[in-house]
Amino acid sequence: MLGRVTLVRPLEADDHDRWRELFAAYRAFYRLAPDDAVIDRVWGWLLDPAHELSGLVAEVEGAVVGIAHHRPFARPSTGTVGLWLDDLFADPAARGRGVGRALIGRLQELAREQGRSLVRWITAEDNGTAQRLYDDVAARTRWVVYEAPPT
């Protein structure tokens, strides 16, 4: 039986295979079609120090059980820069072991260390499990998100 999260650290090249499994599972959870090209592109971004996207992994007893992708984002209305959490996923076998909480906690530490004004993210309206955690560690906003395709 797995214990609690013992380490949250930056993603490394050696994490590729496990990261790929977890990111593919994350995409499947959100009903996104399998797409190796997308997964390869995101991995390339994560390993490119010039790209804005960075990654964290959470370990339990030396095994990678969770991932988080994050990046800075400008906040013109406040004249600050925040930290945007794009993707957060815990292996279903490790749920309830503090994986999501540990990853968010580390992002909050990074935000402080980097002088960011906050950590922000979105989740699916029907993801009640995640929302229970998020309601415990953050404040729900009054904002509604819209998306428009390029024309």
Q: What is the pLDDT of residues 94-151, one digit of tens each?
A: 998 999 999 999 999 999 999 999 999 999 999 999 999 999 999 999 999 999 999 9
Query: Would the pLDDT of 4 be above 90?
Result: no
Q: Are 117 and 78 within 8 A, CB to CB?
A: yes
Please give the model's pTM, rounded to 2 decimal places: 0.95
Question: Is 143 a domain residue?
Answer: no
Query: Would the pLDDT of 2 be above 70?
Result: no
pLDDT value for 5? 76
134: number of CA atoms within 13 Å, CB side? 17
Provide the domain count of the chain.
Answer: 1
Query: Would the pLDDT of 11 be above 60?
Result: yes
Question: Is 101 a domain residue?
Answer: yes
Question: Is 91 a domain residue?
Answer: yes
Burial category of 104 from C-beta neighbours within 10 Å (exposed 0-12, middle 13-18, buried 19 and up): buried
Question: Is 45 a domain residue?
Answer: yes
Query: Would the pLDDT of 1 be above 60?
Result: no
CA distance 72 to 144: 20
* Domain residue limits at 86: 7-137
pLDDT value for 6? 81
Question: Is 144 a domain residue?
Answer: no
Question: Is 127 a domain residue?
Answer: yes
Question: Is 149 a domain residue?
Answer: no
Query: Would the pLDDT of 84 be above 90?
Result: yes
Question: Is 126 a domain residue?
Answer: yes
CATH number for 111: 3.40.630.30
Q: What is the pLDDT of residues 14-36, one digit of tens each?
A: 999 999 999 999 999 999 999 99
Q: What is the pLDDT of residues 35-65, one digit of tens each?
A: 999 999 999 999 999 999 999 999 999 999 9
